[in-house]
A and B are shown apart, each in its own frame.
Chain A
């Protein structure tokens, strides 16, 4: 489509959004939130009308104001860090005024997480570092894809779609992730490459994301040695049938340098999503369909995606429930590999411009939860199935690369709360993988595991002593894994862990943890045999050993009123670390074991709220090194940082600016090592408005047109503008 036509279309979208927003009317709700004990006004408390997207934050004097509220009955929820949540039923007939008092509490009760210990626990009781992000935080940046949403989380970096937590992974085209991705607690790493298929992750259907930043092998096995990301989808809770429509449209700016402009067309992207939830008796249902199209800012980098998610929740009784989920995705995309040269940084080789990759994915699970024996035992049974198929349509005359993989898994877990001061989790897992592939061969694999963990609290009672250990929580556990890969390789591994959390007082918590981790090589790392661009010969290495790691972390956090500081020191010592090794002179690449490697560093997170301004700062320093050669590990920046400043205005909107920094990668893995590289230094700005049932997000990404490479010879996204409208009926 011509540039002008697409621009006209975008203008129409803006106009539609503005017209939609203007259809707002109703009464208003205002009031004041104060400290129950002292009567002092509370600044920055969140006031929300439950079931709507309407809300406000209190100002310097504790007042809030929510305009244009349709008349009716509402449940008002008021929350603030350091205070007990309060809910109140109100009826809005005309302009209303309410007074709210919040009780100051110990903050260790908020929020609840489920990933760090495979059970529900308070965030402050976790012996390992955890980042949690609610749906609002994930979508306020108007992400086009799930990886964009996750990339902004503290401690998480993304190297061309390969996710890494505290530099645990480098870059190997997604292969062999050291971060385990869970969807509602169910693993969704691809059976062949062990990579994360981000196009299957729904953004609009997310409830929250939990990131566990230390080795999770002791609970989750192979693949989790660098951490765990648990993507938790919404539970369909709306009592009435609800339709949610999302429309997003955006466009890339012209590149900063005229030489890089490779088309006169306006390059655009869009997302159209439809979600329906309803309750039928005891059954709650959510169905969604999302279509995404992206011209791509680079040549041969366009994509079309269709994704659908369905979730059914059946509550048989207060003690038992059943959940079924399917998530299917199809993608047709260009196959960008590398630029022609730095003077044509957005163009790829003419011989590769028509290469395409087509892929289909399905993941599904059934989960049964039951509380038994007077609710002292919580039992979960899960079965999941993953299917993935892709083929690469090379230029004429070349045989297509393809892979079809299937993975079936089951796990059963008991959480026992029967004993005083103890919470015991134990379970068994099993999986089977089958692969038919041109580049990996015909392969199958299977594995099984048993895990147990005991959490001790109120140590004083347990040891029959008095102060001061009453606020100490100790955790110990381990996991035994056995796996078999279709080349007659059999591996077993025992991975113990230990951890502790000590609450010095209501504001300060200290934590420490240590353990072993491991990862078995994926089929792709073992058996890949192909040629890239006709010049890089990827060789198999069936002799690869599993990698193992010793990990330790100490940290603590301080929570005082609206200010939160968390700091952690971490240390990981790897043996037989699996890394991609390329030899430019020979034109070869393969995965090899590094004898000894170390990834150590510190992470600092600060979150503060001053009146209507909220600041978030995250900094990670890592020293990642091959201890045999002394060289830095590939694609691990030493310093990464994110700064976000958000301003809540007029009780119905927010604007924010985010700065992302990562210093120059010292090692790029063997190819194109002499190419110039620069740090990542990118600003994003955005604004969000909420009116009645409508939410509008607008965003400018890479505001100052900063150009850097995410991997060698691949330019990161240039400046883009987008706007989205979400409406709920």
Chain B
């Protein structure tokens, strides 16, 4: 009889714990579903008006076919290709305007040791697992040729410093995932940008972009 009582008690405890459904109580409050973080720009900024438009964050996923984007994917994309298949969101930041605003705040953007932090927030987006989150730059060649623009990947989000492959980010509904931080090193791109001024051919830039990409993913 006593053994039965003990078994019943133990079962009661298990049922009680199970009934609690592992509630975690209070959690972060998020009005939007999305990601946020800081992009740190390191190095001297290219001259204003020279060639760049900065883009906001680009997200790949969570749609299933983005899983096929391999580590060594081209980092040059057709605008239509991105619109139709991959991009969850992107928007432009006018490079000249940003440059002027930062200078007005007292930043010495031409200094080699210049460090500027830019806080961003991307929301709303669809919940799911994002495979690849990156920040791009666009050569300033005129909007009439958007479909042949070169999109340079300037920074990719890596999980906990693991640069072997892009970090995956789980975005839950009504949750803002914070601290998705990236670093843009302008020193890496100066030569590439200079070359881009003279050539708008995707094929001619391919190899250079590939070098950059390999540097990013090494």
A→B interface (CB under 8 Å): 43, 60, 256-260, 341-343, 345, 610-611, 613, 615, 645, 657, 659, 676-678, 681, 683, 704-709, 715
A343 to B25, CA, bound (A): 14
- B residues 13-57 near A (Cβ < 8 Å) are 13, 16-17, 20, 22-30
Residues of A within 8 A of B5 (CB): 610
* Given A683-B17, A707-B24, residue A259 in contact with residue B179 (CB < 8 A): yes
Of B13, B28, B30, B176, the contact of A645 (CB 8 Å cutoff) = B13
Q: Are A715 and B178 in contact (CB under 8 A)?
A: no
Nearest-CB distance from A208 to chain B (Å)?
Answer: 28
Q: Please name the residue on chain A nearest to B13 by beta carbon.
A: A645
Whether the pair A345, B28 counts as a contact (CB closer than 8 A) is yes
Kindly identify which residue among A343, A610, A681, A708 contacts B178, using a CB–CB cutoff of 8 Å.
A343
**Set B6, B16, B177: member contacting A258, Cβ < 8 A:** B177
* A678: contacting residue among B25, B28, B29, B178, CB under 8 A: B25
* C-alpha gap A257/B2 in the complex (Å): 43
**Inter-chain contact A613/B6, CB cutoff 8 Å:** yes
B23, A343: Cβ atoms under 8 Å? Answer: no
Q: A657: which B residues are within 8 A, CB to CB?
A: 13
Q: Known contacts A678-B26, A704-B24, A706-B24: does B9 contact A613 (CB below 8 Å)?
A: yes
Pick the most buried of A343, A615, A657, A709: most chain B CB atoms within 10 A of its CB.
A343
Complex: A706 Cα to B17 Cα, angstroms: 13
29 contacts between A and B (CB under 8 A): A43-B2, A60-B2, A256-B24, A256-B27, A258-B179, A259-B28, A259-B176, A259-B179, A341-B29, A342-B28, A342-B29, A343-B29, A343-B30, A610-B2, A610-B5, A611-B6, A613-B6, A615-B9, A657-B13, A659-B16, A681-B23, A681-B25, A704-B23, A704-B24, A706-B25, A707-B25, A707-B26, A708-B25, A715-B26
Q: How far apart sit A707 and B29, CA to CA, in the bound complex (Å)? A: 13
**B20 touches which of A257, A342, A681, A708 (Cβ 8 Å):** A681
A-B contact count (CB 8 A): 64
**Alpha-carbon distance A342/B31, docked complex (angstroms):** 12
Closest to A611 in B: B2
CB distance from A452 to the nearest CB of B (A): 49
Which of B17, B25, B28 is within 8 Å of A260, CB to CB? Answer: B28
Q: B28 contacts A705, CB within 8 Å?
A: no
Contact A610 B24 (CB under 8 A): no
Closest to B26 in A: A707
A325 to B82, CA, bound (A): 77
Complex interface: chain B residues within 8 A of A681 (CB): 20, 23, 25
Residues of B within 8 A of A (CB): 2, 5-6, 9, 13, 16-17, 20, 22-30, 176-179
CA distance A707 to B25 in the complex (A): 5
Contact residues in B for A60 (Cβ distance below 8 Å): 2
User: How many angstroms between the C-alpha atoms of A154 and B20 in the bound complex?
Assistant: 23
Q: Are A707 and B13 in contact (CB under 8 A)?
A: no
Kindly state the separation between the CA atoms of A411 and B27 in the bound complex, as whole angstroms.
52
Partner pick for A610 among B9, B22, B25, CB 8 A cutoff: B9
Distance, CA A659 to CA B25, complexed state (A): 15
* B17, B27, B179 interface centre (most CB from chain A within 10 Å): B27
Contacts of A704 in B (CB 8 A): 20, 22-24
B9 touches A345 (CB 8 A): no
| Shortest Cβ distance from B170 into A: residue | A258
Nearest CB in chain A: distance from B37 CB, A: 11
Given the interface contacts A259-B178, A610-B9, A645-B13, does A707 sit within 8 Å of B27 by beta carbon? Answer: yes
Closest 9 CB pairs of A and B: A707-B25, A343-B28, A707-B26, A678-B25, A706-B25, A708-B25, A342-B29, A259-B28, A259-B178
- Whole-angstrom CA separation of A709 from B27 in the bound complex: 11
Q: Which residues of A contact B20 (CB under 8 A)?
A: 681, 704
B2: A residues at CB distance < 8 A: 43, 60, 610-611
Taking CB as reference atom, which chain B residue is nearest A615?
B9
A342→B26 contact, CB < 8 A: yes
Q: CA of A341 to CA of B25 in the docked complex: distance in angstroms?
A: 16
Q: Once bound together, how far apart are the Cα atoms of A256 and B172, in whole Å?
A: 14
Q: Collect the chain A residues with CB atoms within 8 Å of residue B22's CB.
A: 704
B25 neighbours in A (Cβ, 8 Å): 678, 681, 706-708
Q: Which residue of B lies closest to A676 (CB)?
A: B26
Minimum CB–CB distance from B29 to chain A (whole Å) comes to: 5
- C-alpha spacing A674/B30, complex, angstroms: 16
What's the Cα separation between A410 and B74 when bound, in Å?
A: 85
What CA separation (Å) do A260 and B176 show in the bound complex? 12
Assembled-state Cα–Cα distance A74/B177 (Å): 63
CB pair A645 B9 closer than 8 Å = yes
The docked-state distance in angstroms from the alpha carbon of A666 to that of B23 is 21
Given A258-B177, A259-B179, A681-B20: A708 touches B6 (CB 8 Å cut-off):
no
| Residues B6 and A343 in contact, CB atoms below 8 Å apart | no
Residues of B within 8 A of A613 (CB): 6, 9
Instruction: State the CA gap A257–B24 with chains docked (Å).
Output: 10
Q: A257 touching B27 by the CB < 8 A rule?
A: yes
Report the separation of the CA atoms of residues A43 and B178 in the bound assembly, to the nearest whole angstrom: 57
Cβ of B16: which chain A residues have Cβ within 8 Å of it?
659
- Taking the closest CB of chain B, its distance from the CB of A653, in whole angstroms, is 17
Which residues in A have their C-beta under 8 angstroms from that of B17? 683
Beyond the given pairs A256-B27, A681-B25, A707-B25, 12 more chain A to chain B contacts, judged by CB atoms under 8 angstroms and listed by A's residue number, are A258-B177, A259-B28, A260-B28, A342-B26, A343-B30, A610-B9, A645-B13, A676-B26, A676-B29, A704-B23, A705-B24, A707-B24
Residue among B28, B29, B176 facing the most chain A CB atoms (10 A cut-off): B28
Residue in chain A with minimal CB distance to B29: A342
A705, B176: Cα distance in complex, Å: 20
Given contacts A610-B6, A611-B6, A683-B17, whether A259 and B24 have CB atoms under 8 Å apart is no
A706 to B27 Cα, complex, angstroms = 10
Q: How far is the CA of A345 from the CA of B29 in the complex (A)?
A: 10
Nearest-neighbour CB distance to chain B for A265, whole angstroms, equals 14
Q: How far is the CB of B151 from chain A (nearest CB, A)?
A: 29
CB-CB under 8 A from A342, the residues of chain B are 26, 28-29
Complex Cα spacing A256 to B179, Å: 15
Alpha-carbon separation in the docked complex, A715 to B16 (Å): 25
| CB-based contact A257/B9 at 8 Å | no
Task: Give A571 Cβ to nearest chain B Cβ, in Å.
Answer: 32
Nearest-CB residue, chain A, relative to B30: A343
User: For the complex, what is the distance from the CA of A42 to the CA of B47, rounded to whole Å?
Assistant: 90
Q: Note all chain B residues with C-beta closer than 8 A to A683.
A: 17
Q: Nearest Cβ in chain A — how far from B183, in angstroms?
A: 17
Structural contact, B23 and A259, CB atoms closer than 8 A: no
Expressed in whole angstroms, the Cα–Cα distance for A495 and B106 within the complex equals: 71
| B residues less than 8 Å from A676 (CB atoms) | 26, 29
> Do B176 and A343 touch (CB < 8 A)?
yes
**Bound Cα distance from A93 to B124, whole angstroms:** 77
Q: How far is the CB of A57 from chain B (nearest CB, A)?
A: 14
Inter-subunit contact A345/B177 (CB<8 Å) = no
Central interface residue in B16, B20, B26, B30, by most chain A CB within 10 Å = B26
Give every chain A residue within 8 A of B6 (Cβ-Cβ). Answer: 610-611, 613
Residue of B nearest to A261 (CB): B179
B175 to chain A, nearest CB (A): 8
Looking at the assembled complex, report how far the CB atom of A488 sits from the nearest CB atom of chain B, in whole angstroms: 47
Most B Cβ at <10 Å: residue of A43, A256, A257, A683: A257
Chain B residue at minimal CB-CB distance from A683: B17
Nearest chain A CB to B34 CB, angstrom units? 12
A60 to B28 CA separation, bound complex (whole angstroms): 50
Question: A657 CA to B17 CA in the complex, in Å?
Answer: 11
B177 touches A259 (CB 8 A): yes
In angstroms, Cα B17 to Cα A683, docked, is 9
Chain A residues with CB under 8 Å of B177's CB are 258-259
Output the least CB separation between B2 and chain A (Å).
6
List A contacts of B24 (CB < 8 A).
256, 704-707
Question: Which A residue's beta carbon lies closest to that of B20?
Answer: A681
* Residue from the list B13, B26, B29 in contact with A708, Cβ < 8 A: B26
A708–B177 Cα distance when bound, in Å, is 21
Closest chain A CB from B86 CB (angstroms): 25
Separation in Å of the B85 CB from the closest CB of chain A? 29
Contact A709 B26, CB 8 Å, known A610-B6, A645-B13: yes
